[in-house]
Amino acid sequence: MDLSRKWVVSRKEHKCIGCSRVIVKGVRIQSIEGKENGSFYHYYWCAICQSAWEKAGMDYPDEITEGDMLQLDEWHEVYDARPWAHGPSDPTYERRTVEL
């Protein structure tokens, strides 16, 4: 259960839970904190994953694991329109799509 979900500007590099990519300092991201099965969690969610999630019509209770968003066509459509969302140039995009 999410206890806190808010948009923030990253003060350092983070890894997005949805796409497993590095988000550079100074980028707008969601900071999500919660508690599940007695354990606390804190992870970050990039704007590309949020847009793809909304475009795919997914609902928040659906569970995703790290990197799952890369399997959605919607993620690649959003990324192609906004490649800067993870930071200045992102050389990992081509490599990540080949690994799938």
Q: What's the structural domain count of the chain?
A: 1
Please compute the mean of the pLDDT values over residues 49-72 and round it to a whole number. 79
pLDDT for residue 98 is more than 50: no
pLDDT tens-digit series, residues 17-34: 988 888 888 888 899 888
- Residues 74-98: b if buried by 16+ CB within 10 A, e if exposed: bbbebbeeeeebbbeebeebeebee
Q: Is the pTM of this model over 0.85?
A: no
Instruction: Please report which confidence band the pLDDT of residue 84 belongs to, taking 50, 70 and 90 as the band edges.
Output: low
In angstroms, rounded to a whole number, what is the distance separating the alpha carbons of residues 32 and 16?
A: 11
Query: Which domain range does residue 77 map to?
Result: 2-99
pLDDT, mean over the chain: 77
Q: What is the CATH number for 89?
A: 3.30.1740
